[in-house]
Structure 1
């Protein structure tokens, strides 16, 4: 029996923030995969190594975690006053689907650099030395991200001394501005708070009723209090990810929150929408030891946050969820703000399993509606490998 040979697709493997992903230029994809649809999804699934019933993604580029099962497609922007269009695909590990419902804030840190190196940004906008300002159109959520990318001798500077908890080695700092990050296309009428409340009583049959802040900023996120679900907020991954009962509880709360937020119309739809919404739990500051063994002191942080991504506790914090945290912290009365002491904070430093992260947000109340003009945080990015990724010729 004859078998088709493998095909080669130009690709770059990049760490962005505390995530890794396979980056493509749209023009380099096979013609059938240059349009959204089954062929594109099949290609990306095979690149990453999914669906894998073993949960390891051995036969692909994925790393068997939500942080490393990611793909990015970039193209010259079709939008005025933007340089590059950025589309993010979260690839399921054990199921045959790619979730296009949200952004990846961590990989956003690598978009500007890849766009410059890939010739997707007008050369006149890129200084030989200094900082290149790359205007990114985030196509999943129709939002603008501004990346400040350091340049040295005409090339993107990747090395530096900026340290990011959750990443082993230092690198160059990339500042990101998430403009008007409330997700207009999500939920009830595009409101930042789709239920109309800063805090709701979220009834979850079989689990309980919880105070919850449900917010659309950066990414739709459901915040609950740690003590309401039996946690302290200092947990590391092993405390939750090996507990099937706990993971089922979080998924049930997430599904009911998604329904309440108007993101799904039936609970059964939550299983096909793993990337959004996120679920997180918060607590006031406490001393704890991070996953690297570093002590985090209560007086060095404003609050504790733990968040789940694709059904597992994240090893650090998703960048988009950090935007939600910063936004909620800037609005008095949310569970995030209350955990941080109850005052509106223009910038907040929170403790996560790998250490700490600082994020700022500018929020304002006008005509009874909260809005946020932008959220700001620093990440880093580094190219790990570039060349071609190979997939069997009958993949799509």
Structure 2
């Protein structure tokens, strides 16, 4: 039997923050994959190498973790006042599923560099040296991100001395501003920073108990619980949780019931169809611990400890979007995150995660009794790892 040659699709493999993914220009995709639907999903699944029952992504570009099973599609913006549209797909590892329900804050840092390098910006907006400001429309959630990308000699500056815990080597700093980052959400609480209307809820989770929880739409829908309430200290590393099937089932139960309370799904049975959101995280007061790199994190250097799960596993560092949620929740007196950080008011928080620490800021305000976050700011870095083309079987799409 004769088989057609593989299809060649221009692509760039990039690291952004503590994640990496395959980046495409919309115009370079096969025609059937230029619009949402089964053809696009099938293409991205094959690019990444999913579904993989072995959980290794041996036959694809994925890295078999939630941080490395990602695809991004970039196009010149269709939204006035923006330079590019950014669409993000979180590809499941072991199932044939691409989740389009949220953003990736880490890969957001690579969008500006990719857009500049691929000629998607008006040349008059790109300086030879200094900072290039890229206004990004995050199409998954309908939000604006402003990236400040360093330039040198007319090209994106990738190498520098900015260190980001969770990334092995230093690089050039990229400052990201997430404008009005409260996720639109769905259901009764859609569009509200606190979709249930409360800073703290009693979340009933069968088999787990009743937990004090802060559920927030900022950066990405996230549910925060206290580490002590579920038997943890907040200083755990991946090995303490990701090999524990009972613990992972508990976290998925918390996530599913929080999703219902947040109006993201109607029934817990729907949680499997929305794996990317909401995130579930647990917090604890600042404490000293040794990060996964062997670096010692001192309690005096952080405001609190946070651990978060992504796609069913404890994240090796911290998702960028969840960092926005952490900063926003920490800034509002009365949330479980604010309480863990010592209470009071703050617009900047430094938290400890499995790979080290991260500092992130958020501006919040209260209008007519409702809290809103106007902006969150953090620093990330990005680098091209490889560019050229990916290849997929001709019959994929």
Partner of residue 327, structure 2: 326
Partner of residue 74, structure 2: 74
Corresponding residue SS for 2:161 = coil
- In 2, distance between residues paired with 1:274 and 1:151? 37
Q: Which sections of structure 1, spanning at least 5 residues, go unmatched?
A: none
- In 2, distance between residues paired with 1:190 and 1:382? 33
Q: How far apart are residue 266 of structure 1 and its match?
A: 1.4
- In 2, distance between residues paired with 1:201 and 1:335? 12
- In 2, distance between residues paired with 1:135 and 1:109? 12
CA shift digits 1:104-150 (9 cap, x unpaired): 00000000000000111111111010000000000000000000000
State whether structure 2 residue 87 is matched by structure 1 residue 62.
Answer: no
- In 1, distance between residues paired with 2:267 and 2:368? 32
- In 2, distance between residues paired with 1:186 and 1:9? 35
Partner of residue 145, structure 1: 145
Q: Which sections of structure 2, spanning at least 5 residues, go unmatched?
A: none
Partner of residue 352, structure 2: 351
CA contact (8 A) 2:185 2:263 kept: no
CA contact (8 A) 2:182 2:217 kept: yes
Q: How far apart are residue 186 of structure 1 and its match?
A: 3.5
Partner of residue 168, structure 1: 168
Partner of residue 339, structure 1: 340
- In 1, distance between residues paired with 2:68 and 2:147? 22
Partner of residue 389, structure 1: 390
Q: Matches of residues 1-396 of structure 1 in structure 2 within 5 Å?
A: 1-187=1-187, 188-396=189-397
Corresponding residue SS for 2:101 = coil
CA RMSD, Structure 1 to Structure 2 (Å): 0.6
Change in Cα spacing, 1:186 to 1:218, as seen in structure 2 (3 Å) is farther
Q: How far apart are residue 345 of structure 1 and its match?
A: 1.2
- In 1, distance between residues paired with 2:269 and 2:148? 41
Q: How far apart are residue 233 of structure 1 and its match?
A: 0.2
The TM-score, its normalising length taken from structure 1, stands at 0.99
Q: How far apart are residue 359 of structure 1 and its match?
A: 0.3
- In 2, distance between residues paired with 1:207 and 1:234? 21
How many residues matched? 396
CA contact (8 A) 2:297 2:352 kept: yes
CA shift digits 1:294-353 (9 cap, x unpaired): 000000000000000000000000000000000001110011100000112110000000
- Which sits farther off after the overlay, 204-213 or 180-189? 180-189
CA shift digits 1:141-180 (9 cap, x unpaired): 0000000000000000000000000000000000000000
The TM-score, its normalising length taken from structure 2, stands at 0.99
CA shift digits 1:268-302 (9 cap, x unpaired): 11011110000000000000000000000000000
- In 1, distance between residues paired with 2:306 and 2:359? 12
Corresponding residue SS for 1:64 = coil
Q: How far apart are residue 5 of structure 1 and its match?
A: 1.3
